[in-house]
Amino acid sequence: MDDESIRGEKIIMGIFTVLPIVLLIMILILAMVGKGFIRKGILSFNRKFHFWAAFGFIGLLLIMTILAEVLYPTSQVSKAPPKMDNHFPYSLKAYNAISDDVIEGKKVDSPLLVASRTHEVGDQLEIMHRGEFYDFPMIYIERSDTASNTVEEYVYKPYMFVNDYDYTEQLNLHLPTWQDDTMTIVDMVDFQLNLVSFSDASLFKQFTSAGLGTVFSGGVGSSSASPIIHLIVPEDVEVIAPFDDVMFVEDMREEW
Amino acid sequence: MSLTRPTRTEMINKQVRFKLNANAASLSILLFLQVLAFFLVVSSTVSFGAGEISVVESSTASHAALTIFWAFFSGISLGSAAKWNEAFTFVSTRLTHHLSSFIYMMVVSFMASLMAILAGPAARLITYMRYEEVMQSTQTITEAPGDFLIQFITAFAYILMVFVMGYTIQSFFQANRLLGGLYIIVIVAFLFTINLMLGISVVSAIVFAFIQETSLVLFLLKVIGAIILLMSLSIWMTNRLEVRKS
């Protein structure tokens, strides 16, 4: 996020913080002005108007209640992300399986696979990373004994949970760019989530089975991991990667 | 001199009708606040490293808060000197005035709780139509019809109690502007002293006695008890008050 958008966000947050106070002041001013107008006879409502307005509003609310019940009869929305249950979450299980399968030399068949590509390189492969540390992926390099200069690349997205919901599907991944003998990773992970919750007033649902809390009453927390890039590089190709997070599968197997 | 002698029921009936007509504008104020509450949705944006999570929390909490706020000030308005004088335009006694005020408060609280509760499904409909994915912590009426009824009863109890509270506070001032203020200062000072000496916050204890109650029956008994106490205080405070002040 750049400074401009952070500033904009702070302004919006500030507006929402003072909005109720501003509205309250507006109500009081309106009430005073309205009272003055009524007293002077500029504004006049007869008694029937107030009753009809109140009953009309209740009628409108009743119609909206019927519509709400007909259109959305259940609290579960089909488009909502899957809710994490007490069992081991599916996406987390799938994510952990990738590393296990790579190390064990099994064929990785994962729903988290985003891209599988091949690239032609020269005598060396340089891996570069530009961006923030939290964007940095986990890179597994596996050596193949084929006498070619073709590098196989498999990119897997990580899991992502926000509170109790699995948002893995909504994660966007920017694939590394390949130019000549260089693979460049820039800002891999990107997401823009809009979380919307609805709850009735806690004060009035004191004795209902729903409980007092709202979906986000405990705050918003996310848990995620790094994306995984699995490269199968021919033995003859030299790998230049100036960071520690590149892992050679053969070394890992020895340690295993 | 009138040849007919109206019964107490007739007097109350007439006064309730009069009060409903005379205070009809308060219904429009409530309506305005209810409409306003639909615009009060809390939202925020949280940055999480590489991405952004925007959170929109739609709730009817503002409907509840504004209705309670309205009930308190309507209670104060109902107990004012002007309303007191209006009430004795008809054949009336202090007791019938208070009883008719209470029935009026019940009728209006019923309408206010109906609005506050029906605002729930209406706000849900608006939220669902505006946003694609909505996580809901409340069950619908189809799923839990009993919950809807319980919410209505709870709302009615809270609104009526706050209404009566405002009415009673105004009665203190009505009895004697100076003494009424003095009584309230004495009560507040007494509560502060208890808090300082014994470390017990009486106000918090009273509030928690209602909001932390888990049994609906006990809650309703507490509300009925509080209303009887507050109304008795109102009657007692205004017992020697002139029926009409010129």
Q: What is the pLDDT of residues A82-130, one digit of tens each?
A: 776 655 677 888 888 898 888 888 888 888 888 999 999 888 999 988 7
Chain-centre distance for alpha carbon A212: 26
Q: Is the pLDDT of residue A195 over 60?
A: yes
Chain-centre distance for alpha carbon A255: 35
State how far residue A252 is from chain B, nearest Cα, in angstroms.
29
**B-chain residue closest to A58, CA distance:** B115
Cβ–Cβ of A196/B121 closer than 8 Å?
A: no
The pLDDT value recorded for residue B52 is 79
Alpha helices in chain B (DSSP H): 8-22, 25-37, 61-78, 81-87, 94-130, 145-175, 177-198, 202-211, 216-237
CB under 8 Å to A182, separation ≥6 — which residues? A125, A126, A127, A128
Select the residue of A58, A197, A204 nearest B57 (Cβ to Cβ). Answer: A197
**B-chain residue closest to A12, CA distance:** B44
Cβ–Cβ of A196/B58 closer than 8 Å?
A: yes
Prediction pTM value: 0.75
Label residue A208 by pLDDT band (50, 70, 90): confident
The pLDDT value recorded for residue A102 is 87
User: What is the arithmetic mean of pLDDT over A34-56?
Assistant: 78
The pLDDT value recorded for residue A15 is 56
Tell whether A54 lies on the interface with B, counting CB pairs under 8 A. Answer: yes
Hunting for tokens 């007739």 — which residue is that? B10
**A-chain residue closest to B131, CA distance:** A196
State how far residue B40 is from chain A, nearest Cα, in angstroms.
7
- The strand order across the sheet containing A246-248 reads A113-120, A150-156, A228-234, A138-144, A246-248
pLDDT tens for chain B, residues 1 to 246: 556 677 878 888 888 888 888 888 888 889 988 988 888 766 666 666 667 788 888 888 889 999 999 999 999 888 777 777 776 666 677 788 889 999 999 999 999 999 999 999 999 888 888 887 787 767 888 888 888 999 999 999 999 999 999 999 888 887 776 666 777 788 888 888 888 887 777 788 888 889 888 899 999 999 999 999 999 988 888 876 665 554
Q: Is the pLDDT of residue A2 over 60?
A: no
Q: Which of A199, A202, A216, A222 to mutate to test the interface with B (most CBs of B within 10 A)?
A: A199
State how far residue B96 is from chain A, nearest Cα, in angstroms.
23
State how far residue B136 is from chain A, nearest Cα, in angstroms.
5
Select the residue of B54, B115, B154 nearest A207 (Cβ to Cβ). Answer: B154
Q: Is the pLDDT of residue A50 over 60?
A: yes
Measure Cα distances from A81 to A51, A163, A205, B23 in Å: 45, 11, 26, 49
Q: Is the pLDDT of residue A47 over 90?
A: no
Q: Is the pLDDT of residue A61 over 90?
A: yes
The pLDDT value recorded for residue B162 is 95
Q: Is the pLDDT of residue A21 over 80?
A: no
CA gap B235, A121 in Å, rounded: 94
Tell whether B149 lies on the interface with A, counting CB pairs under 8 A. Answer: no
Label residue A1 by pLDDT band (50, 70, 90): very low
Q: Is the pLDDT of residue A243 over 90?
A: no
Q: Which residue has the higher pLDDT, B107 or A190?
A: B107
Q: Looking at this predicted complex, what is its ipTM?
A: 0.84
A-chain residues near B86 (CB < 8 A): none
Q: Buried b vs exposed e over B16-51: b needs ≥16 C-beta within 10 Å?
A: bebbbebbbbbbbbbbbbbebbeebbbebbbebebb
Average pLDDT, chain A: 80
Tell whether A62 lies on the interface with B, counting CB pairs under 8 A. Answer: yes
